[in-house]
Amino acid sequence: MKSVLTGAAVTLGLLLASIGSAQASTPNTDASTASHQPTPQARQHGIDKAGDAYMGWLQNTTTSAAPAVMAPAASVEGIDVSSHQGNVNWASQWSAGKRFAYVKATEGNYYTNPYFAQQYNGSYNVGMIRGAYHFATPNDSSGANQATYFLAHGGGWSRDGKTLPGALDIEYNPYGATCYGLSASAMVSWIRDFLNTYKARTGRDPVIYTNLDWWSRCTGNSTAFNSTNPLWVARYASAPGTLPGGWPFHTIWQYSSTPIDQDRFNGDQSRLVALANG
């Protein structure tokens, strides 16, 4: 009886050791959650955990919520989505007149959108021109690292007339200090690192999504990118207003989040196709 018990104890010990070893060799998937606790303000905007950040999450409290003006003739309506929208009814969005979409692919170097395939492929399949965006967290890793992560998880580009260049979503930090603890010059260097890496891999200059307030505060209103990278400006108001960084014009304007993030391309369909084709 003693030998049976001893054998069982040894077996159990080996089993527990095996489990412990497996746990030790498994990446700590909670690491990003521990270091990315949303601020109380972010939680008020539906950001409950790492990866929940989305375009314009703080716009409702920093800009007017006035309705947008009637679209000019030379414009194209679109939307942007993230995991918050889940599986999107793309046929319905097409019927509502939306002709392009940007889909969140990644955040930092730790998160991929679980709905990306449905959203990215679904918008394409109904006829929309679509692109992917990356929510930057510059305090986590280099711009090159995050651009590489983005490219590896849906952020690529192809000259098929239906794929927009990737977009860098650089805005308020939902997990801490507004400017991610970086000086203005360090932030500009981080952005340049991301943009250069993306262009070296794809041949395209990424779109930059931002807003006047954040860009002014966190980059010193840098003019470093206004002749190379298309501007996607966020302002929930009746007009795009003063543009950040000396950009002479905006390419896309995010003007509302109701009932879903609403975007307007500054040009007609042929110009949208031209942007896709590069």
Tokens of 119: 């959203």
Residue from 80, 213, 261, 263 carrying the catalytic annotation:
80
Task: Tokens for 198, please give them.
Answer: 């993306």
160 is catalytic: no
Q: Is 48 tagged catalytic?
A: no
- Quick check: bond before 240 cis, omega within 30? no
Please name the residue ranges forming H helices in the chain.
Answer: 2-25, 31-35, 40-44, 59-62, 90-95, 116-125, 143-152, 184-202, 212-219, 269-277
* Number of neighbours of residue 141 by Cβ within 10 angstroms: 15
Q: What CA–CA distance (Å, rounded) separates 265 from 78?
A: 7
Which one is catalytic: 52, 107, 169, 263? Answer: 169
HEC per residue, 142-171? CHHHHHHHHHHCCCCCCCCCCECCCEEECC
36 CB-near residues (< 8 Å, 6+ apart): 49, 50, 51, 108, 110, 137, 175
Contact residues for 218 (Cβ-Cβ < 8 A; gap 6+)? 178, 179, 180, 182, 184, 187
Which of 52, 171, 213, 261 is catalytic? The answer is: 171
171 catalytic? Reply is: yes
Determine contact, residues 252/230, Cβ cutoff 8 Å: yes
**Beta bridge partners of residue 43, listed in sequence order:** none
Active site positions, annotated: 80, 169, 171
